A = this chain, B = another copy of it.
């Protein structure tokens, strides 16, 4: 193996920052390169094109999210009797994504949006490969919530009339929508977990 480089890593890292704080289309390859201190030609050594870099950015954010969600449900104390406390796990996941956003807010000085939601809104109609890639991330996110919702349903802690199959999508959508409103209205990130907690609580039985 001759000659190694972390140029690819630098590109992904600074692209993640630029796509998040601005947008995909508003950042050109030139700026992507200069931010990563990589020459234009090298960019195309590592990536066939700009959209492939975006894919790598998505994968990086996704890996971080799954790790964070695993951590959130791992540290939550089991319910009395040793069974999984689905309600507590749902609230813990809400806190986890809330903390990710608070972290972005601290780093960038404002709510910058969800890395997936931003790209999805911008590219779903213009880049079918990235759209499907993002759809897979959302599907996995919903799947992780669906596991908990199923348990909650089995335990009978869901409120009457609640569709346990729709609830995961509702929760991801609530997060996406709240963060879009916060970003647009330049409000702070704290209302995001608050809204999630309220939606979760409203779908559970009183006292659950």
Using CB atoms and an 8 Å cutoff, list the residues of chain A in contact with chain B. 21-23, 25-26, 112-113, 117-118, 120-126, 131, 134-135, 138-139, 159-163, 166-167, 169-170, 172-178, 180-181, 183-186, 191, 194-195, 198-199, 201-203, 206
Contacts and interface: CB of A to CB of B under 8 A. Distances in A.
Contact of A184 (B124, B178, B203): B124
A9 to B, nearest CB: 24
A23 B181 contact: no
Nearest to A120: B184
A113 B184 CA distance: 16
Contacts of A124: 113, 183-184
Contact of A166 (B161, B173, B194): B194
A208 to B, nearest CB: 12
Which of A121, A134, A169, A184 gathers most chain B CB within 10 Å? A184
A123 B122 CA distance: 9
Contact of A170 (B25, B135, B174, B206): B174
Contact of A173 (B121, B195, B202): B195
Nearest to A184: B120
A125 B22 contact: yes
Contact of A126 (B22, B163, B173, B199): B22
Given A160-B206, A181-B176, A184-B134, A122 B122 contact: yes
B126 A180 contact: no
Nearest to A158: B202
A138 B176 contact: no
> Which of A126, A139, A162, A176 has the most chain B CB within a 10 Å cutoff?
A176
Contact of A162 (B173, B180, B202): B202
A134 B138 CA distance: 25
A194 B199 CA distance: 15
B180 A117 contact: yes
